[in-house]
Every structure is written in structure tokens, then in C-alpha cells.
Structure 1
């Protein structure tokens, strides 16, 4: 009795031996560290309701101070590994008591946070045995919520040279699981959470974790969308870690045609993970290996996706161009892709640079396309002939005298005015012909004038319902703009053309850049006016490109099918069945709008520049 009173006095009324919260208040650093070390050893052996509170506090500390070495040195990794193992082993009993259901999630998150920046912590964690329990979570022993933090932690461990081999011991399983997650996680999150409209039927602890206990249905959906994006992007990240090593087993698994096609559609979300290159990042890494190039060149759908990306205003446009150039430079894949790639890349040959990523990009494209053209002129390729004519025209114009140059400019201006007049009168086809005449005469060095002519001709093509030609001309205009992709009218016109072709993602990106340009141009005014037509296009394309769009459609179709089957088995059903059918049709027509703008933490960015192709460096935080 006396010892109990003594303990209460020392710890402010707390009777728990080796209490974490009491240890944190201990002023003596030696006693504090000794108590915390013992606390981490004892925690997995206890079964009380305070454990989840301790884990929640550790989660917060790890998130805010991931570089602090105190807890890692005191055994936190072994403690977290044992707690995850306990949760999986005693799933039916221990997890159901108190609030223990939260513990595996917090434990995996703590491991991932501490291993995010420092290789010494990652090595410490791997040697403490965290990989096997994290793999158990990755296998889906609990739910997608725990898979998200498990793949995050494993991705950090796989990104360091000193810990990669320990993860690579499970290479085949890790790669297969990550591939499965990237392919199915969006449908799983929608089917088990976002698509469940009745909040009472959603797992309560999932709701609490995604919103930290604050927020209603809208907040839950927004955060769940963000987490689905992160789950997919972090799964791709761990695949990147293995693909960078060009390991034969990994390349053989990833380069399956079906998976490569899926990769091209993995966007990562417009806002939720804008720093992640998502699927295209992995495709580019595969293009650095001969085997990867061979497999990618065999897929017409993948090549078309890369071509569309190369002619877009997406932040990862340069990656699409990189992939095509790598395929064209390889003699074994060049002639498999050149016919289609040249049709797209020729529109980019006057591109000077793309932000900080590349300079003289258009010149590199032209050289790659024409690398063997002069030696093999017998091979007929209209696109390459057009490009060669452009090169010859540029050379001839260098010898043009100043007097002839001025006369030609006057003539171009007259033809342009005539074309504008015809367009205003509604004679679109005649105006198009005149714009073409002006372009044929306009000196190549006059980039701004040619930009306007290309853009105006594209408007004619839009009105004549020729989206392919409109995309070509607007792309050429945007390459001539300074900086690239900054000419507002061309962006809007190309957005419309992409919409006509059903390319929602490309249309959306052009429209977003167009609106950003409108905002920048009106910074001086108090109120920024976004054009109604552009806002309407954004709304349309955001719904089409919503990360859950396919999952929503699949789920709704399945529900309608179930209703039809039920009606077939119960002919002449009652009014209740008719009402149910009406509800199913409402589901089919329902629209979910908006993309998440909430960021929990920056995603690790897997972009390898040319200098690091042969020796991938540790990826940095964005």
C-alpha cells in the first residue's frame, strides 16, 4: 500500500508502471530515456486502453519530428513491429478490445515517418524486424487503410541502398503485391468506403482515421480520395525502386502488356498528389532498360498514350517526350514506333524548352527523327519529308536579303488580313486556305507571327469539325509561344479539340493552364473573372477524369444488373421492387464532383534525370 501511494505521488496520481506520458514529463534525461526504453519493451506485452493513446502520440511526434533520433535509439522500431504482429496474430481477440483496432495503422505510420529522411533510421528499422509485419499488412491482412501506410514504409526502406537488399529478399511478392494494389486500390476504396452512401455502414475507425474524428461525409470522401491516390502512388513508388535496379525478375513482372496499359491511365490525381509522376514515371524508368523498351514498343495503346502526353500541357509532358526519344534512339524499337511517334513529335520540333526540365528540346527531337533519313530516303515517310523540308527552308531563309524579307512580311500581312476578313464573314474554308498561304510564306524566324497564324487556322479547323488538325496547329502555336504552352487562345482551342476527341485528361490540363493564365493576367484587378465556358469545361472534364469515375460506373452497372436479374426472377413484382429499380437508375445518373485539395504530407518523388539513369540516387521529398 505504501509503495502504491509513493508511485502516485511520484507520477502525479498515475499508477501505471513505466508510463509513457509520465516518462515524457521526467526532467532527468537519464531516467527519462531509461523509462522510455523500458516502456517500448513492455508496451506489446500490455493490454490496456492507454496503448492507443500512446500510439497516437507517437504518430504525432514522428510526423512532426521525423529526424529526432531519441525514439529510434530507444527501440521504437522493434516495439512497432511487435505491435503490428500482435494485431495480426490476435486479430479476433486483442484488436476488438478497447480501441486496439487503430494500433497497427499508427505503428506502420510511425515506422514510415521515421524512415522517410534518414538512412540510419531505415537501417535501424530493417534490422529491428519491421519488414515481415509490414508485409503482412501489405498482403491485406487488415484493410486498405493499413496497406496504405505499409507500402509507404516499405517504399522508404526500398529507396535506400543500405536497406534495399533486405526488402529485395521478398522481391517477387513485394512487386506482385504492389502491382495488384496499383491496379485495384481505387476500386477497393470506392467499393468499401466512398461508394457506401450510408455513413453508418462505413467502418467507424476508417472514418475516424481519415478525418481525425472531425468532419462529415464530404470530408471523409475527400480524404478517402486523397488516400486512394496516395496508396496507388506509393505502390508505384516501390515498383520504381525495384525497376531502377533493372532487376530481371521485376522487369519481367512489370512489363506484362496488361499492366503496361493500366500504367498509362494511372494519373495520381490532379491535386491530391501533384508531385508524383504516377504511372508515366514508371514507364520512363522502364524505357531506360532494353527489355522495358522492347515490351513498351509492342503495345500500340501505350505508344499512343505517350504521344498524347507529349502534345499536352501536363507537367509530365517532358517525360512522354523522353520515352518516345528513348524508343527512337534504340535501333531495335525505332522502326516499331517511328510511324506513329513521328506524327506527334513533328509538332514539337520548334519547342525551345519546357520550364527547367529541358532546353533545345525541339532540336533534339528533330535530330532523333532525322538520324538516318538522308541515308534511307528511299523509305517513304511523309512526316519525315515534311520535317526535312522545314530544315531546308530554314537554311534557305538565312540567305534572304533584308529587302526580300520586308516584302515577304508585307505580303504575309496582307494575306492574314484577307483571311481574318473571310473568317468574320463566315467563309471558314476560304479563311483556312488563306492562313495556310500565309504560313507557307512567313519566315520561320518570326515565331510570334507564326504562332498567331497557326492558332487562327486551328480555330477554322475546329469550326469545320477537324479536331486532329486543330490539335496539330494549336500544339505548334504553343511550341512557338514564350514560354512554351502559354498562349491562351491556343490552349482553349486545343482543349476544345481534345474534348471533341473524347480525350478528357488532355482537355482538362489545357483548360486548367488556360484558366491559370487568365488569373495571372488579371492580378491587378480586385476580382478575377474566370470565363464561364472554361469553368463549364473544367466541371465536365473533372467528372470524367475523377479517380473514382471508372469504379463508380462499374459499381452502378453491377447494381443495375442485380436489379434486372431480380426482376427476371420475380415477374410482376410489387411496388417496392419498382421503387428499388428507380433507385438503381438514380445511382447510374449520379455525379460526384470535385477533387481533393488536402495534402497529408508530400509524396516521395521518383523522377530520375539523365545524370542519374545508371546510378539512381536516393529519392528526395518534394
Structure 2
């Protein structure tokens, strides 16, 4: 076979040839010169260099070599050039350069504080350039890369100062992006016919792999990431007690509480992460506790199979521990307190915090704003304190008699239920729950779960959620009660809480597969998942022309 010599590169400033230079001193010298030269020269190869640098930065973000040779100045100057010179940006493939440049900065600033510090202390600071992209001067694609990079810079103490110089504008922009980015992504890309989409955005999304379906999936993922990264940026300020008054605006808090990464970005806590950070401050707790919708959202997440249920529960505990807002929160939570107090991990902490002032209610005439909250605290005291005392004083014969009665009541309740007397069955299960000794955990699980099923048939969604939650708390995290997961999923569906219904249904399917010889998903569960996937889709109901959500408009009109 004939061998041909590879054509020799005649460009002395070729990045790829410089990378092959065996002499480390020459190599560094050549690369430093190239980084200075790139923003000042015109070449079709620049986008290939940026693409190569992006791959290196993503795979080796902790390597300080390129940043030490002037990479940050180079990336910053390229972004500024793109903003100021539209003709250059639209020439050849230069349109890709700002995206790559912002991501390169973000990757190198991600882990190492010294590299992040170098980025903001360089002769040409990267922050003003990234801020231009965050303003949306090019498109949402570059805005996403800028939000990521600024978030990494703001997360380090050494580089936070440079970001905080633009604090007021960055906070304002981040709030606006979090509120509107999904609408903008849909209006400018997802809701547009594929033939009318900007080609460079499609190319970045797919990287030449996959068709329209892949393109749409990636666009959805990137849109959600843009929202989550803007929340992360706000979190960097909130965690330092900065701009709390701007972030804690009531309308924004309501919207933040429903923001999440969905199934495509389950690693992000979404809005709940920001709310927890706010609740670590006295000012934040005061503001959050005034927004009923946020407290109710935290309560529902705490009583679900959501990935961030523990964070939601921790946030509620932060609020309950604050004597200045505790009763305001209790008034909203009501009977949910008893549900949360059954939690195996945090139940005792919830009870301890809520009941610490019980003597004021019992003996000093302290009144809650709502009768439901008053009854809930009294019920919690009965379950967590009085009932334990009473059972300790009972003889073994009395306890055994109760156990027999509970077994009999379970059978009676089931018989009535099968005969169609649902309300009578529910009453029997209630008597059984009141009589059942606390150590009969399996029986209590069944009684609560069966009563939840009765509540479902009677269209009492909130009561069904409450009973199913108590059953699940008692059954434990490692082996949750399957029927209760399915019943709570149905109850949340009845309530209109698609996210909680979806996560419970997924947990039910997972639990069923683990305890079954078949991996087939039940038809009814598949139907529920399909329905809730549609309802929880981040872009559900958006109109491509207006960008408005039909679902949101219907909700507002009620």
C-alpha cells in the first residue's frame, strides 16, 4: 500500500500544531501568542480552535495551563467583539464563538477558586462580557452559557466581589430570566417550525447527532437549565445575605416555588433550593412565611416522593424554629403537621418544634388564627405525648385486647368497603386507628392506607393525601407501602398537583418492579405517568405566537 506524507501546516500560529510542540517552554510561548492574536485576526479556523478549547475545558476544567496563558482575556475580547461587530459575528461560522467562549470561562471557573479569581483579575475581566450575554444581546443559547459562567464565578469568595459590582442588574436579570426563559425558548425555538429555526442553534443542540426529536429534547433540557442556573446565580447572592429584599418579592416567590428541573434535570433543586437559602436568614423567613402559596408548596413536596422532599421539609423546619413566624406557618399547615410528625427521619423534630409552646395553648389561652391549626396541634400532642403515656400505663392484657379489636375492625372495614358502604368503612377504619397500639406499625399502615382509599372514592383529596402520607411515613423510606404510593398519586391528581402525582406514581412503579417477578408497568400507572408527564412538561400550554401559557391563563381567570 502506498503511503503519502501528511501535508505540512504552513501557519506558524496554528493552535493545533502548537499543541503538538514537544518543547513545553516553546509550546506555552506559542499558545500565549495565539490567545493574544485570535481576537485581533480574521480566520475561519477560529471556530475550530474555540470548539477544541471547549472540549478541553469541559474534560479538564481544573487544568490551569490555558488560563495562565491569557485564555480568559482572549474569551472576553471575543465576546465583546461579537457584541460590538454584528457583521463579524454573522460572517463564516463566527456565530458559534460567543457560546463556546462563555462555556470555556464557566468550565475553568467551576471548581478551582484560584482559576475563578484569575478570570476576574485578568487585564480584561470576563464579567462585563458575560453580562452582555446575560442581557440577551445575542440569544437564549448564549444567555444560558453566561448564566452558568457567572454562577460559577459568584460561587467563589475570591471572584464574588467582581460579580457583585453589577449586583443590582444581575439580580434583576436573573429574576427576569427565571420567570420568562421557558416562554422565550418556546417562542423563539421549540414553538417554531424546524425549517425556520436558527441553524447554528440546532447544530449546537444536536452536534450533528440525532434528528428533530433529539433537537427538541435538548432544547427542553437547555431551557430548564437556563432557569435553574439563573436561580443558582440568585442563590449566590442570597447565601451571603445580599439583595434579599429584591429576591423576596411576593410575586416572584410564588413563581419560584413551582420552578423545578423536571425529569430532565433532577439534580437541580430548582426554586426550593433558593427558598431554603432565603429561610436561613431572618428577613427571608419573615417574607416567605407571609406567602401562603409557598408554605403550601413546601408542605406538598414534603409529603411526596419528590427528589427534594427532604429539602422542603428542612425548609419548613427552619420556619417552624423561628418563634417570630412559627404560628403564621402553623396556621397554614394545619393538619399537615400531624402528617409530617409521622415521618421516620424528621417526625420527632417537627413534633418537638411545634409542641414546645403547647402549654401556652393549653393553659395560657394562646389561640391560633384558625380552628384547624388549633385542632392539629392538640391532635399532635395527643399522638406524640398523651397516647404514649396511656399505652405505657396499660397492662399487657389491655394491649392484647386492643390488638384483637383492631384485627376485627380491619376485617369489618374491608367487608363494608367491598359491599360499597364507603363512608361506614371509613368510620370503622377511624375507630381502628384510634384504638391501634403504636407498636402495631403494619396494622396502622394498612388502616391509614385503607382510609385513604375511602377518601379517594369520596373525592376528599386532601384527606386521602394525609392518610396515605401517614401510612408511607410508618412504612419507612427503604420499603414504602406500594398501595399508599399509588393512592397518594391518585389523590394528588384529584387535587391537581401533577408534579407530586407523577413522582409518587414513578415511586410506585419502581417499588412494584422491585417486589415483582415482572418488569411490566401496570397499564393504569402508565396512563397516569403519561398524563402527568404532559401536565408537568415545562412548556405545556405555551402558544408559539404569544409565548403565553394557556394553562396559566386559565388558572388566572378562575
Q: Which of the five TM-score ranges fits, normalised by the shorter chain?
A: over 0.9
Is residue 302–residue 313 contact of structure 2 (8 Å, CA) maintained in 1?
yes
Q: How does 1:36-115 map to 2 (within 5 A)?
A: 36-91=31-86, 93-115=87-109
Report if the CA contact (8 A) 1:18-1:39 is conserved: yes
| Match among 224, 229, 240 for residue 245 of structure 1 | 240
Which residue does 2:154 correspond to in 1? 158
* Contact 1:342–1:369 (Cα < 8 Å) also in 2: no
Match of 2:370 in 1: none
Separation of aligned partners in 2, 1:482 and 1:209: 45
Question: Is the contact made by 1:186 and 1:551 (CA closer than 8 Å) also made in structure 2?
Answer: no
Structure 1 residue aligned with 2:174? 178
Q: How many angstroms apart in 1 are the aligned matches of 2:128 and 2:45?
A: 26
The aligned counterpart of 1:367 is 352
Match of 2:371 in 1: none
Any unmatched runs of 5+ in structure 1? 1-9, 354-360, 560-587, 589-622
CA contact (8 A) 1:432 1:460 kept: yes
CA contact (8 A) 1:313 1:485 kept: no
Deviation at 1:342, TM superposition (A): 3.4
Partner Cα distance (1:457, 1:332) in 2? 36
Aligned counterpart in structure 2 of residue 200 of structure 1, from 182, 192, 195: 195
Change (3 A) 1:85 1:556: closer
Aligned partner of 1:327 in structure 2 is 319
Q: 1:132-168 deviations in whole A, cap 9, x for unaligned? A: 1011111111100001011101111100111111111
Corresponding residue for residue 218 of structure 2: 223
State the 1:173 CA deviation.
Answer: 0.8
Q: How does 1:402-481 map to 2 (within 5 A)?
A: 402-481=396-475
Aligned residues of 1:478 and 1:484 also touching (Cα < 8 A):
no
Q: Secondary structure of 1:374's partner?
A: helix
- Give 1:137's aligned residue: 133
Cα distance in 1 between the residues matched to 2:549 and 2:17: 54
Deviation per residue, 1:282-329 (Å, 9 max, x gap)? 011111111111111221222221222222121211222222222222
- Aligned-residue RMSD, C-alpha: 1.9
**Alignment partner for residue 393 of structure 1, among 387, 399, 402?**
387
Name which of 236, 243, 262 aligns with 1:269: 262
Match of 2:527 among 510, 531, 536: 536
Residues 229-265 of structure 1: per-residue CA shift (max 9 Å, x gap)? 1101111111111000012xx1011011110011011
Contact 1:43 1:51 in 2 (8 A): yes
For residue 401 of structure 1, report the CA deviation from its aligned partner.
Answer: 2.0
| SS of the residue 1:398 aligns to | helix
Q: CA deviation at 1:484?
A: 6.4
Higher RCO structure (Cα 8 Å, ≥6 apart): 1
Partner of 1:382: 375
Tell me the alpha carbon deviations over residues 433-459 of structure 1, each in whole angstroms, 9 at most, x when there is no partner. 211111111101221110111001111
**Deviation (angstroms), 1:350:** 1.9
**Superimposed CA distance per residue, residues 24-60 of structure 1 (whole angstroms, 9 cap, x where no aligned partner):** 1222222211111111111111111010011111111
2:291 aligned residue: 299
SS in 2 for 1:376: helix
CA contact (8 A) 2:177 2:230 kept: yes
Residue 344 (structure 2) pairs with residue 352 (structure 1)? yes
CA drift of 1:485 comes to: 7.5
The equivalent of 1:599 in structure 2 is none
Distance 2:329 2:63 in 1: 51
- Which of 187, 190, 194 is the equivalent residue of 1:191? 187
Q: Which moved more, 1:528-537 or 1:546-555?
A: 546-555
Q: How many residues align?
A: 536
Equivalent residues in 2 for 1:7-46, closer than 5 Å? 12-46=7-41
- In structure 1, distance between residues paired with 2:545 and 2:332: 32
Contact conserved, 2:303 with 2:469, CA < 8 A, in 1? yes
Q: Which residue of 503, 506, 510 maps to 2:500?
A: 506
**Distance of 1:267 and 1:553 partners within structure 2:** 22
Using the size of structure 2 for normalisation, the TM-score is 0.93
